[in-house]
Amino acid sequence: MLDKKPIITLTTDFGLKDPFAGLMKAVILGINPEAKLIDITHNISRHNVFEASQVLAMSYKYFPPATIHAAVVDPGVGGARRPLLVITEDHYFIGPDNGIFTAVFEKEQSGFFKVLNITASHYFLPMSGSTFHGRDVFAPVAAWLSKGVDSHKFGKQITDYHKISIPSPVLSDGDTIKGEVVSFDNFGNAISNITLEFLSKSRPADSLSNFKIIFRDRRVPLLNYYSEAKDHSLCAVINSFGRLELFANKDSAAEKFDIRIGDGVIITIA
Amino acid sequence: MLDKKPIITLTTDFGLKDPFAGLMKAVILGINPEAKLIDITHNISRHNVFEASQVLAMSYKYFPPATIHAAVVDPGVGGARRPLLVITEDHYFIGPDNGIFTAVFEKEQSGFFKVLNITASHYFLPMSGSTFHGRDVFAPVAAWLSKGVDSHKFGKQITDYHKISIPSPVLSDGDTIKGEVVSFDNFGNAISNITLEFLSKSRPADSLSNFKIIFRDRRVPLLNYYSEAKDHSLCAVINSFGRLELFANKDSAAEKFDIRIGDGVIITIA
Amino acid sequence: MLDKKPIITLTTDFGLKDPFAGLMKAVILGINPEAKLIDITHNISRHNVFEASQVLAMSYKYFPPATIHAAVVDPGVGGARRPLLVITEDHYFIGPDNGIFTAVFEKEQSGFFKVLNITASHYFLPMSGSTFHGRDVFAPVAAWLSKGVDSHKFGKQITDYHKISIPSPVLSDGDTIKGEVVSFDNFGNAISNITLEFLSKSRPADSLSNFKIIFRDRRVPLLNYYSEAKDHSLCAVINSFGRLELFANKDSAAEKFDIRIGDGVIITIA
């Protein structure tokens, strides 16, 4: 049974100029006036399913149990790709079957989760079009789910849902970890795919001080917080999402050092 | 009688750097803490009343009955232009008398609507200035209206409200429809002023397959959804707002084909 | 005792692409589902504490009493800078001790206010990191405060909090006021640090018509509202925040006249 004031989050590539995000909210509130609507972001790069997947995975656990996450980066809208409802132990996810939930599946792999193919079109907006399933399909399903409609009423479980490939760090020769830059934040910090979790699994006996961070063949000091660094020099930190991040204090590392997505980040172990 | 949790939407050209949208919300919640505030957009192009009018017209019907829409694109703020309250069968609109509601009037022309000139300044913020009626006039009027103040208390009905000219498609020689591109969305799709409604009124006996779409003297295929198209080629679709739209699958049609507002879109009928 | 539906506002330099603002809201709603969350802005220029201070000072008085304002422009995050809770007669402010509340302190100087150093880490998110105190420290403290936790439980009063220098206008020779441009808004209006309050204190006997506005050695007409001006010419107005502002009707004064932050604005008194 869901809370009476359920939270529905939105993650899209709609941008903030068009009324599209507002229209998803309009439809949701028309069905469930008690829903609390929280924007995760509407500025996912256009059609970038990988980026949306990463943003969702880093965000959803901070929301209260029973939160419903609607994610709409959907270049195949209107075509054959299926609408999905993903149920994990604590959260719901609604969006297209194009791999947008891949990073969530990874996070939940050791736990319980279930994927349903949404087919119950009587929950959709009547006279839906083919270009805006955010408004016509995902918003109303999220709203009905938030009102307590049983999840199995939306469709049947499937196991052949789509996944995208997400670059993983690799441990080679037992003492070298090869990762890469996978995203930048608003401050120009370069975020790698190397996680604390990966480090402690790969080398459980090591502490952070055993790791040497190498970027473009040069050592980068691993610090505890940003302002510990000399201004403008390239440094590393484990960020608040548990990821190894390259930064330049009082500067944008991305711009100053011309860092690109896919650039290698290497850890050698002393 | 209004709902106890009324929705107030905001449509402005304030952008999202200044605190202006937040201040409208501050004033509204100070008067009616129960109001639900939904941003339609704050990124209307600066002073572009036409754009705001289009966005409102494509949005408002998706909100529940009794929603109050505050629209503030207001280059004449503080001067002689009047503040308006527009009442349609299901919705309320509050904003300046500069034509911002023109496209709403068009949509409501066969129905009931009423336009009031807001003059009851005791509902305004005390000590209002001349540059920010969004905060000082429109927000408090929206909030008081949402609390159930009778609409006739805000001012008297008028009929000489302002309208702007909106380019309409034209049927010529009985078998050629001439429309034009009127806006772009975040994905670079080029949206025309040709609507399904216009097509079915102009040529009630025809189905979509009888229409040939012509753009810059070349035929553009009319498809059912985006991913049906060959990547990057120019195609057309009836979008989810019932409008003929030019798109390029996995690309921005606006950028790739250098489409501009006002470019002609022609339909010839087989 | 706080309201049951307290308002929490957010002012940050997080931008709107990353999920950071959404994650502050996630944490707040997890602790207090009744909180109403209002964005003042997330587009403060990166690390610009002065800009954040100005935006807060021009905004907070429009919110209802007992509103909690969380302000996170925090280049020193994770380091020695202290987290603060500022209590004024009507409002609460939560953020880093880096001067972000300076302009609020100025506004409240004749009234009552109190500054606490937040140290009660049991209110923080467990396992906080060093790079995102918005989510891990400021959001949960705001949420617990909004639930009625007594402010003295968060930490002890301090008096050595940090302030930044804010450029003030100067009255020289008794009849010349020297101010400067301190910010621009979305419309390209150039906002000075000369306030009505300063004018009436400096020259209480004068009316606005006694003041000649000088910008770059030329007189600029002081008008009552924007559309009173000849299009595109440089004019001045007292804006709705009580500040002298340079504008160009139907144009961006900043762009058209290449105005910069720090440019002098002079008033001579007849």
A180: in domain: yes
Q: Are residues A183 and A222 in the same domain?
A: yes
| B57-108 per-position pLDDT tens digit | 999 999 999 999 999 999 999 999 999 999 999 999 999 999 999 999 999 9
Q: Nearest Cβ partner of B23 from C5, C62, C228? A: C62
Q: Is the pLDDT of residue A259 over 90?
A: yes
Q: Are residues C150 and C60 in the same domain?
A: yes
Check B227 against A77: CB less than 8 A apart. Answer: yes
CATH code: domain of residue B254 = 2.40.30.90
Q: Are residues A150 and A194 in the same domain?
A: no
Q: Are residues B180 and B227 in the same domain?
A: yes
Q: Nearest Cβ partner of B130 from C63, C187, C225? A: C225
| C184-214 per-position pLDDT tens digit | 999 999 999 999 999 999 999 998 899 999 9
Find the domain containing B216 and state its range: 170-269
Is residue A215 within 8 Å of A266, Cβ to Cβ?
Answer: yes
Which parts of chain B sit beneath pLDDT 70?
A: 1-4
| Percentage above 90 pLDDT, chain A | 91
From A263's Cα to the closest Cα of chain B, the distance in A is: 25
ipTM: 0.96
Tokens 């102009």 belong to residue: B202
Could you tell me the pTM of the whole model?
0.96
The pLDDT score that the predictor gives to residue C168 is: 95
Check C62 against B30: CB less than 8 A apart. Answer: yes
Q: Is the pLDDT of residue C86 over 70?
A: yes
| A54-111 per-position pLDDT tens digit | 999 999 999 999 999 999 999 999 999 999 999 999 999 999 999 999 999 999 988 8
Q: Where does a domain end: A108, A131, A157?
A: A157
Q: Are residues A48 and A150 in the same domain?
A: yes
Question: Domains in chain B: how many in total?
Answer: 2
Average pLDDT over residues C154-179: 95
From C67's Cα to the closest Cα of chain B, the distance in A is: 10
C43: in domain: yes
Which chain C residues are Cβ-neighbours of A190 within 8 angstroms?
none
| A157-213 per-position pLDDT tens digit | 999 999 999 999 999 988 999 999 999 999 999 999 999 999 999 999 998 899 999
A2: in domain: no
CATH code: domain of residue C107 = 3.40.50.10790
A1: in domain: no
A219: in domain: yes
From C64's Cα to the closest Cα of chain B, the distance in A is: 5
Query: Per-residue confidence at A4, pLDDT binned at 50, 70, 90?
Result: low
Q: Are residues B256 and B139 in the same domain?
A: no
Q: Are residues C183 and C147 in the same domain?
A: no
Q: Are residues A49 and A141 in the same domain?
A: yes
Check B240 against A46: CB less than 8 A apart. Answer: no
Check A26 against B38: CB less than 8 A apart. Answer: yes
Residues in CB range of C95: below 8 A, 6 or more apart: C70, C71, C72, C73, C74, C83, C84, C101, C138
B-contacting residues in A 125-184 (Cβ below 8 Å): 128-132, 135-136
Q: Where does a domain end: C136, C157, C178?
A: C157
* DSSP type of residue B188: -
| DSSP labels, A42-71 | S-PPTT-HHHHHHHHHHHGGGSPTT-EEEE
| Alpha carbons C79 and A237: distance in angstroms, whole number | 13
Closest residue in chain A to residue B61, using alpha carbons only: A26
Q: Nearest Cβ partner of A22 from B3, B9, B250? A: B9
The pLDDT score that the predictor gives to residue B4 is: 64
Q: Is the pLDDT of residue C172 over 80?
A: yes
From B156's Cα to the closest Cα of chain A, the distance in A is: 30
A175: in domain: yes
A72: in domain: yes
| Alpha carbons C148 and C146: distance in angstroms, whole number | 5
| Alpha carbons C177 and C267: distance in angstroms, whole number | 5
Check A240 against C47: CB less than 8 A apart. Answer: no
B1: in domain: no
| Alpha carbons A84 and A113: distance in angstroms, whole number | 13
Distance of CA C99 to the CA centre of its chain: 11
Q: Are residues A96 and A71 in the same domain?
A: yes
Q: Are residues A126 and A176 in the same domain?
A: no
Check C20 against A186: CB less than 8 A apart. Answer: yes
Average pLDDT over residues C214-231: 96
Q: Are residues A262 and A178 in the same domain?
A: yes
Q: Where does a domain end: A108, A133, A157?
A: A157
Q: Are residues C144 and C189 in the same domain?
A: no
DSSP SS3 for B211: strand
C-contacting residues in A 47-66 (Cβ below 8 Å): 55, 58-59, 62-64
Amino acid sitting at position B31:
I
